[in-house]
Amino acid sequence: MEDIAELERVQTKLAEKHDRYLNDISKTGRDLYNVTQDQLNNLYTQRSNEIEALTRRRQEMAEQIGISGYGNYVQWNDRD
């Protein structure tokens, strides 16, 4: 799994590249489209990784409550 922080750094670089392309008159619509597609692909990957991490955290929390023996005394509200 890719590091979420690294994906965010990549997204920042892509956003900067997108801004440069908007100001560069020599760039074509296709160049801008390609950068936008790269941004979208990166965002989808980030979302997928964050969902996976959240799922693992939920499983770990459920396991910890079960292992500790306090399952009858603990209430955990998970809000998305």
Q: What is the residue-level pLDDT of the chain in tens, covering all 80 positions?
A: 558 888 899 999 999 999 998 899 898 999 999 999 999 999 999 999 999 999 998 888 888 877 777 767 766 676 65
- From residue 29, how far is each of 12, 19, 22, 41 by CA, in Å? 21, 13, 9, 18
- pTM confidence score: 0.69
The pLDDT score that the predictor gives to residue 78 is 67
The pLDDT score that the predictor gives to residue 39 is 95
Q: Where are the domains of the chain?
A: 4-68
Read off the tokens for 54. Answer: 């959240």
| 8 A C-beta contact, residue 35 and residue 14 | yes
Long-range contacts of 19-25 (CB under 8 A, 24+ apart): none
